[in-house]
Structure formats: structure tokens, C-alpha cells
Amino acid sequence: MSTKRLSRGFKDISFSFVPHPVTKDLSVLGNERAIARSVRNLIETIPTERFFQPLIGSDVRGMLFENFDIDTADEIKDQIEETIAIYEPRVDNVDVVINGQPDRNSLEVTVYFDIVGLSVPTQSFTFLLEPTR
């Protein structure tokens, strides 16, 4: 008999570090927004960047300096999906869509995913990946 995983409520602090106007506490991200922020942080983290957890992250930033073609886009897509599958157990049914923008020297990445155990619609967020110099 298989067991169904249930999620509980998730909270995380906002990286803006702007205090709440009334309570003066740090702003909190809840459930969907907290998980979406976690997924994005995983994608943008470079391996060896986190102390005591050197394996966490993806090599997407390193791939941005390659000449852009369909193979590079597929490699980046696979890297993102693999990173999320390994390090974020709260999400399922991950799909990544990459739209190359060679004129702007960037990639528009849209990540779609379902949150395990929460009855919410499929989540998505879009961000730009650009090489830094």
C-alpha cells in the first residue's frame, strides 16, 4: 500500500528584509511563494557556494557563456529539472520552458511545477538568466 505525501504550511523570510509596517517583524513568504523562491534559489546557486552543503546548486550560470543553440538550451533545461528533482522534494511534475533572446544575450526561463500535497493550481514563475561580466 503506497502512502500519499502531504505537505504542511511552509514559511520563509523575504529577501527584501523590509519590516512589516505594523509589527516591525520581517516579511514572511507563505506556501506557494516560499516554495517558488526556494526553487529559484536552487537554480541560481552555484555548486560550492553554500558552506557545509557544497553539492547544492546548478551549473546553469556556467553554461551561459556557451554559444547559444538548441543543444545549450536543452542542457540548461535538463540541468534545471535535475537540480529541482534532487534538491526540492516538495514539488512534482516539473516542466521548464526556455526562450532564447540572443539579441539581449539572455534566456527567459519559465518553470512550471505542482506542489506535493497542497491542492493549489500548477505554479509557475519566469526569470531572466544573463551572463555577468
Question: What's domain 35-129's architecture?
Answer: Roll (3.10)
Residue ranges of the domains in the chain? Answer: 35-129
Task: Enter the C-alpha cell of residue 65.
Answer: 557563456
φ, ψ (nearest 5 deg) of residue 5 = -75, 135
Strands, sheet with 123-129, edge to edge from the N-terminal-most edge strand: 91-101, 106-115, 123-129
pTM value is 0.77
pLDDT band at 97 (very low <50, low <70, confident <90, very high): very high
pLDDT digits (tens, 9 = 90+) for 68-82: 777 888 899 999 999
Whole-Å CA distances, 32 to 23, 52, 74:
23, 27, 27
Mean pLDDT of the chain: 82
- CA neighbor of 89 nearest in space, from 50, 125, 42: 42
pLDDT digits (tens, 9 = 90+) for 6-26: 556 666 666 667 777 888 777
**Which pLDDT does position 60 carry in this prediction?**
87
